[in-house]
Structure 1
């Protein structure tokens, strides 16, 4: 399809890679156009690489991408809104994009680090045990 659309100068299919952090770190931003999602690891990875993100408001995407802070959130299945947000992102001065990327990484570190997730699970189990009358 890339060939038939004349996009081979701009689209590359890289196959299986083992250097994803390096590839992500060389990008200016990350775009996710999903119509549905759970809590996508790739957005956590993009944020960890300090990439500002343009994403659809599908599944848990808006929990990861803070609209106007670490990127932009648009409605799913709205290609015009997605394109407009992508253009808006790329029209920002580089330092503003970098600041969005740093804000995204800080949000991930504060809310999705291993320590934070373990603390949340421990709290859940403690709460459930207390509801059953078992003190911990």
Structure 2
């Protein structure tokens, strides 16, 4: 397993130090910020996306999760920050409790032990969910329904 870290943030130094202390630094790649028009290449090259998100005020579903799902990638994520809205445990990835590193590691190991066919099926399930729930026509329909409800409830 090679773990690729994309992006920069306040915790990068801590994560790199932890990788060194655990003796896995040689199996990690630290890419920093990747231009938006290049990120799909990383999604297409990986077997799964791991998103160990934590809930913070004003945190919602990360668009990066949907981007990876659109590239037919399974998602291994903590059940935080909206991930539970799109990750169906055992169907298109795995959900773990928030801030549970042991459970996250176990989910990664469980995924790595799957057959290539099963991993591909999880990826297809991710893609289907994005196509049916997050396509522009579907989102436009949902917004229209929402606005119609608001109009119906407003005083005339």
Could you state the TM-score of these two structures normalised by the residue count of structure 1? 0.90
Q: Which of 1 and 2 has higher RCO (CA within 8 Å, sep 6+)?
A: 1
Shift of 1:34: 1.2
Q: Deviations over 1:49-107 (max 9, x none)?
A: 11111100002101111111100101011111101000000100011001000001101
Gapped regions of structure 1 (runs ≥ 5)? none
Give the strand-richer structure, 1 or 2. Answer: 2
1:116 maps to 2:138: yes
Cα distance in 2 between the residues matched to 1:15 and 1:89? 25
Shift of 1:111: 0.5
- Give the 5 Å matches for 1:22-101: 22-36=41-55, 37-101=59-123
CA-based RMSD of the aligned residues comes to 1.8
Cα distance in 1 between the residues matched to 2:154 and 2:34? 48
Shift of 1:14: 2.0
Cα distance in 2 between the residues matched to 1:132 and 1:68? 42
Count of residue pairs brought into register by the alignment: 134
Pairing partner for 2:39 from 8, 14, 20: 20
Shift of 1:130: 1.4
Could you state the TM-score of these two structures normalised by the residue count of structure 2? 0.79
Report if aligned partners of 2:43, 2:68 keep a CA contact under 8 Å in 1: yes
